[in-house]
Amino acid sequence: MGALFKPCCTSQMWVINNQALRQLSGCNGMLVKDWMTRHQGAIDDHNSKYELGTYHNKGRGDITKAISW
């Protein structure tokens, strides 16, 4: 079975990284780094699956403008 959501292009997506998670969560970078270390495999799998590289978010501004809850 395929994914329920497949964007038409990566311009609609954000790479999962420390900065994006800090902006979304409001947590400090050390807490985010600790969480990311424990979940690195899943993060890498997601970023690789959608071909989202290290600099994918560069120049895109604040992720909270695109994602909120």
The per-residue pLDDT string of the chain (69 residues; one tens digit each, 9 = 90 and over) reads: 445 555 567 778 899 999 999 999 999 999 999 999 999 999 999 999 999 999 999 999 889 988 877
Helices (H), 1-69: 18-25, 29-38, 40-49
Total count of residues recorded for the chain? 69
pTM here? 0.79
Identity at 3, one-letter amino acid code: A
The pLDDT of residue 1 is: 41
For residue 4, the model assigns a pLDDT of: 52
